[in-house]
Copies of this chain bind each other. A is one copy, B any other.
Amino acid sequence: MIKVGIIGSTGYAGGELARLLLQRDDIEIKWYGSRSYTGQKYASLYPNMYKIVDEECMDDNMKELAGQVDVVFTATPQGLCASLVDEEILSMVKVIDLSADFRIKDVSVYEEWYKLTHAAPQFIGEAVYGLPEVNRDKVKTARLIANPGCFPTCSFLSVYPLVKEGLVDPGTIIIDAKSGTSGAGRGAKMDSLYCEVNENIKAYGVGTHRHTPEIEEQLSYAAGRPVTISFTPHLVPMNRGILVTAYGSLTKEVTYEEVKAVYDKYYEDEYFVRVLEKDVVPQTRWVEGSNFADVNFKIDPRTRRIVMMGAIDNMVKGAAGQAIQNMNLMFGLPENTGLKQIPVFP
């Protein structure tokens, strides 16, 4: 039995962690942390778990928590996880951080994009970027996981094989992403009201979204040299789902079969990445509620560009599911344990 604590359990990502973990027999959630709702019944905030969770919300006392569990998930605002970890904590429990605190190796880049002073830069080096499809072995032995952002997960998985194999010029990559509204969190903001989001689509954070340097760093590793991209997220009137449409110039003339072979090289053994059949586009509805990432591509000979597409559920592969995938690896379990849910449709 793996004992789990969740700090930030009342946000949407925290709720999804609880939902997914509660369906397992080998996991026990010992701590539903919530600074805002300490002392309140967890199921009063997530009535979907009524009669399933009877616990009350706890505070975020990491020291106390660390003594009771094997792994802590932090699904908290930027900066909080960094302020809670220290050597003692990391020697007691594994930490899987769903925030951005440990995703970016260059602390000055983090501080510039996030407008924060990093509270624990000494752990950035050892933190493992928790994208198992790329860093599986490192994840297995990590004490501290930087769980990838939702946009970076979907963006990276969509373009990675072609960048890695040099078929796309990384300097030409433009990523146009679309996200459901759960990504904006459960905080009460006018911009997130039903009537403001419904019947609307807009871009946001144009040229300034914080996931940009995260995507660039990972693509730079793949390309073997620094990569700068354009990244524009959009808010879509739906609860869940991220769709990425990425554009890049081909470095040489290629056939469908050649590109397909490159995707297959990287993904055919990956349980969670599904390379779709020819001319089938990724759609968020076909991954909703699951940890799958569906990817595909279309060569455009007129422009010598390639369109690379991917779809994930931002709450699962883009947050809680991927965090659990990392946990499974860290505890020596089959990677897809508790994550084989078939997407819910309609």
Binding site for B on A (CB under 8 A): 12, 15, 19, 22-23, 46-52, 174, 176, 178, 180-182, 186-190, 192-204, 206-207, 228-230, 232, 234, 236-241, 243, 245, 247, 274, 276, 280-290, 294, 298-300, 302-303, 305, 307, 309, 311, 315, 340-346
Contact = CB atoms under 8 A, between A and B. Distances in A.
B305 A200 contact: no
A42 to B, nearest CB: 12
A239 B199 contact: yes
10 contacts: A19-B345, A181-B198, A194-B198, A195-B346, A201-B241, A201-B243, A206-B298, A230-B247, A232-B247, A240-B346
Nearest to A206: B298
Given A237-B236, A276-B50, A307-B232, A285 B200 contact: yes
Nearest to A244: B203
Across the A-B interface, the 10 shortest Cβ-Cβ residue pairs:
A48-B343, A195-B346, A200-B285, A202-B283, A194-B197, A176-B176, A207-B300, A188-B188, A206-B298, A47-B286
A47 B15 contact: no
A136 to B, nearest CB: 19
Nearest to A239: B346
Contacts of A342: 19, 22-23, 48-49, 52
A342 B200 CA distance: 16
Q: Of residues A178, A201, A286, which shows the largest number of chain B Cβ atoms within 10 Å of its Cβ?
A: A201
A141 to B, nearest CB: 29
A286 B50 contact: yes
Q: Of residues A12, A49, A204, A245, which shows the largest number of chain B Cβ atoms within 10 Å of its Cβ?
A: A245
B195 A307 contact: no
Contacts of A204: 281
A320 to B, nearest CB: 12
B193 A188 contact: yes
Contact of A195 (B23, B207, B239, B274): B239
A276 to B, nearest CB: 7
Given A176-B176, A203-B309, 17 more contacts: A46-B345, A48-B287, A48-B344, A174-B247, A182-B346, A186-B193, A192-B195, A198-B239, A199-B285, A202-B284, A203-B245, A207-B300, A207-B307, A236-B237, A237-B237, A237-B238, A289-B289
Given A193-B192, A230-B303, A307-B207, A284 B199 contact: yes
